[in-house]
Amino acid sequence: MSAGSIYIDDGVMLGPQVGIFTVNHEPKNIRVIKTASVHIKKNAWIGARVNLLPGVTIGENAIVGTGSVVTHDIPDNTVAVGVPAKKIKKI
């Protein structure tokens, strides 16, 4: 779902069934929709069935493990996994 912008840099690899969402409802008023762009930087790897929520940036050379839900930015050269995705190591 992309009412907002999606930026995917060169060399990015996306697994199957990746969800990239740029739209969400305002929690206090579900009739209000807010958008925020998603940016996946150069050479990042996004595993199968990962969900990227509005406003996140995936850093350069970062790896996001299969099935993760990314709610916050993932720094460059980082491996992140889980729900919500958390940094487990620096590359």
Cite the active site residues.
Answer: 25
The secondary element (H helix, E strand) that includes residue 61 is none
Contact yes or no for 38/18 (Cβ under 8 A): no
- 22 Cβ contact list (under 8 Å, min separation 6): 1, 2, 3, 4, 5, 6, 35, 36, 37, 38, 54
